[in-house]
Chains A and B, each alone.
Chain A
Amino acid sequence: MKRARLPLGLSAVGLYFFLYAPLAVVVVFSFNAARHGVVWQGFTTDWYRRLLSDELALSAAKNTLLLGGFSTAIATVLGTLLAFGLSRSGLPGQRWALRLLQVPVFIPDIVFAAAMLLFYSLVRQWLGLFELGVSTMVMAHVTFQIPFVTIVVRARLAGLDPALEEAARDLGANAWQAFRCVTLPVILPGVLAAAMLAFTLSLDDFVVSFFTSGPGSATLPILIYSSVKRGVTPEINALATLIVLASLAATLSVVLLQRRRRA
C-alpha cells in the first residue's frame, strides 16, 4: 500500500478541506463589508460591533450561558457518580444500564425533543409544573448530557489502578472518603473534560432547545435559526463565528485534558 501514499494524501487534504469549508465560509463572511450576497467587498468588523448593541442577541447569549452552565453542572455530577457506580463489576442490571445510556446518544434530536415537549405539556396539565422556559430546557439538556459525561469518565476510570482505592481503604478510609480523597482527584481531568464536552453539547443544541423553550428563553442557536429562515446576514455570521470559537476552545481544552492522561 506504500504506492498509494500520494493519492491517499491528496484525497485526505481534499476531505479536510470539505470538512472545514462550512466553518471557513462563515468566519470569512462575518468580516465581509457587503450587506447582501456572497461577493467579497472588503474587510470590516462592523457586524461584531453591531452585535454588542443588539438586545436580542445579548439576551440570547445570557440564556445560552445560563442553560449551558446549569445543565453542565448537574449533568457532570450525576454522570460522574453514575460512571463511578458502574465501575463496580457485577452490579445487578449493569448491562441494561449501559445499553440504556446508548439510546440518548443515538436517538435523533427531533424524537427526543418531541418526547420532551409531550412530557412537559402532559405534566403541566396534570400537576401544573414545568412551565416552558430556561428550567425546562436545563432539564432536557441534562438528560442528553448525562450519557456523554458517563462515557468519558468511565474511560478515565478504566485506566485507574484499583490498588489505589484499596490502599486507601486498608489505611482506614471509608468508601466515601476513598472516593473523595483518592479516586476523584485522579479522575479529575477526565471529569473536567466531560464537563467541557457537556457544555459544548449544550451550546451546539438547537432542536431540543427549540422544542422546550418558552417566551423569552431563546438561546443563540434559536436566534440563528429564526434569522437564517429569513435569510443569512453578516450579523448572523459574526454571531456564528463567536459560537464556533467557543466550541473550538472547549474542544481543544478537552483534547489537552485527555492528552494529560497519557503523560
Chain B
Amino acid sequence: MLRSARGNSNLPGSVIAPLGCPTTTRRPPLRLALLATAPALLWLALFFVGPMLLILGTSFLSRGDVGELTRPFTLENYRRLVGFGVFGFESLYPLIILRSLALGGLTAILCVLAGLPLAFFIAGLPPRWKGAALTLVVIPFWTNLLIRTYAWQILLSPDGWISRIAVALGTVESGAALYPGAGAVLVAMVCDYLPFMVLPLYASVEKLDWTLAEAAADLGARAGQVFRHALLPQIRSGIAAGVILVFLPATGQFVIPDLLGGARTVLLGNAVQQQFGPGLDWPFGAAIAALGLATVLAGVWLYGRVTGGREEVGVV
C-alpha cells in the first residue's frame, strides 16, 4: 500500500527524473483539487460535524416537562454522569462507564491473545495462501453484526451443545443459560472484533526482522524470552493500533449487550439508546454520547501517533 510510484528515482545514479522536472507530484491543479474535495467535505460538515456539535451543545441543556430541550445551560448532565445524584452519590452511571471500559479493555486483551497466533500463522503461510487466509478473517467482519450477534443466542442456548459441554465439565449448573450475561457479551465481542485486531497485527508481524530472533536464540534465549525481547518490541505498534481499533467500537457497542447482556450488563451504548428512546432525556443522552465522542477523538489522535500517521484505518 505504501509503495511509491516513482521510488526508483531516489536511487543513486538514477537518470529517471530529468532536470527541471518537479519531483513531488502536483497533480491535479489546485483549483480542480479544491473543487473535487468540496462536495464531500461540505456533506461531512453538514451531516457529521454539524450533528456532533449539536450533541455537544445539547449536552449542556436541560430537559423540559414533556422531554423537550430547554434552557438553562447546565453542567447537571455531566454531574449526573459522574455520580452526583439528587440524594448524594448515585453509582448507576459511574458503574456503567466503568463496566463499558472494563468490557472494552477485556475484549481488546482477549483479541490480542487470539489475534497473535492467527497473525503469526498467516504470516508463516506460503505467499500464495496468505491472501486467502487473510480474506477468511475479514469476511465475517463484512457480514451483518446483528446476525453474528443473535447467532450466539442459538449457540449459547440451554440445550445447545456448548451449554451441554459446560454442564458436563461442571462449569455451569444443568439448565442454566450461558446468556444473558457479561460472559456472553464478552464472547460475542471478541468474535465480532477479532478481525479488527488481526489486520494491524498481521501487518506488523509480516515486517518482522527474524534475524533478531535467531540471534537471541543463538545466544541461548528460550522461546518465551525470544518472543518477549526480540519479537514483541517489533510488533508493539501493531498491537497498539489493534487495541485502539477494538477498544473504541467495543466500549460503545449497543447491539451486543442489548441482545446478549440482559438487564444487568447495560453499557454506555445502551444508556445512550435508553435516553434517546424510551427515557426521553436527550440532554443527558447527549452528555453520554459526548463522552463517547471525546474518547473517539482521543483514540484517533492516539492512533495517528501509534501508526506514525502513515497508515489509514486498514480494514480493506
Contacts and interface: CB of A to CB of B under 8 A. Distances in A.
B292 A178 contact: no
Contacts, number: 312
Contacts of A104: 44, 48
Nearest to B132: A255
B272 A26 contact: no
Contacts of B135: 255
A238 to B, nearest CB: 12
A172 to B, nearest CB: 15
A12 B121 contact: yes
A155 B3 CA distance: 10
B52 interface: yes
Interface in B1-47: 1-3, 5-6, 24-30, 32-41, 43-44, 47
Give the contact-size bracket for chain B.
35 or more
A108 B252 contact: yes
Interface string A60-81: 0000000000000000001101
A162 B5 contact: yes
A58 interface: no
Contacts of A176: 32
A89 B252 contact: no
B159 A38 contact: yes
A146 interface: yes
A151 B58 contact: no
B137 interface: yes
B32 A38 contact: no
Contacts of A110: 252-254, 269, 272-273, 289, 292
Interface string A133-172: 0000001101100101011101100111111011001000
Nearest to A194: B316
A56 interface: no
B316 A146 contact: no
Nearest to A221: B146
Nearest to B1: A155
Q: Which of B1, B6, B25, B259 has the most CB of A within 10 A?
A: B25
B30 A119 contact: no
B176 interface: no
Contact of A206 (B40, B146, B155, B300): B146
A260 interface: no
Q: Is chain A's interface secondary structure helix, strand, loop, or mixed overall?
A: helix
Given A5-B124, A106-B313, 5 more contacts: A11-B118, A22-B148, A22-B188, A162-B5, A176-B32
A247 B40 contact: no
A244 B28 contact: no
A214 B164 CA distance: 43
A31 interface: no
A181 interface: no
Q: Which 6 A-B pairs have the closest CB atoms?
A: A108-B252, A85-B36, A22-B151, A85-B37, A115-B51, A82-B40
Interface string B246-279: 0011011111000100000000110011001000
Interface string B132-174: 0001111110111111111111110101100000000000000
B144 A15 contact: no
Interface in A173-228: 175-176, 178-179, 193, 197, 200, 203-204, 206-207, 211, 221, 224-225, 228
Given A38-B154, A91-B30, A118-B51, A12 B285 contact: no
